[in-house]
Structure 1
């Protein structure tokens, strides 16, 4: 059984703060099953946007895990914000969590799958 988006985001925030990073919920989505997008910001201005991984990334043995894939990266935050606005038009119930992980790589905080 998969945990609710609300509970998963709360646990993510605790993990980020536990390793000395900072995180904030930018857009609160549907409590039970909203899609979660992660906007990772580095201390030197680099940004990366992670979204839900395609269904082909999921293993039938662990269907309750949440996997993410890198959607876009770069130094231009406006491009990533525009991408998020397009996603919100498609799915207004999505979550957006902004993370500045500090010295910990984002891959240690979320499960990233490469396509």
Structure 2
């Protein structure tokens, strides 16, 4: 069973703040099952957009995980804003979390990487 979106976002933000970085919810989506997009803002002003990975990246036993794929990497802010606007026209229930950090580290799992087991995000 997948963790509710509102709980996932809340936990993600707490982890960001614990690292000394900054995060904000730009768009609040459906609390139970809204897709979560992560907008990464770098110190030099470039941005990356990380979106939910397609379900084809998951094994059956991993169905509760939230994994991400990078859609845009180190581009200008208007390109990320335009991509998010397109996504919102398709899915009005999505979340957008903006994280100001040069390194996401272990904050989110990427589809190509092995999932981390920190006791919370593996649920």
TM-score, normalization by structure 2: 0.86
Q: Where in structure 2 are there 5+ consecutive unaligned residues? A: 113-123
**Aligned position for 1:63:** 63
**Aligned position for 1:44:** 44
User: 1:45, CA displacement in angstroms?
Assistant: 1.5
Q: Any idea what SS the aligned residue of 2:61 has? A: coil
2:48 pairs with 1:35:
no
Between the aligned partners of 1:11 and 1:95, the Cα distance in structure 2 is: 14
Q: Where in structure 1 are there 5+ consecutive unaligned residues? A: none
User: 1:112, CA displacement in angstroms?
Assistant: 1.1
Structural mapping, 1:1-115, within 5 Å: 1-101=1-101, 105-114=103-112
8 Å CA contact 1:37–1:52 kept in 2: the answer is yes
CA RMSD in angstroms comes to: 1.1
8 Å CA contact 1:20–1:101 kept in 2: the answer is no
Aligned residues between the structures: 112
Segments ≥4 residues shifted beyond 4 Å? none
Q: Any idea what SS the aligned residue of 1:61 has? A: helix
Q: Any idea what SS the aligned residue of 1:108 has? A: coil
Q: Any idea what SS the aligned residue of 1:25 has? A: strand
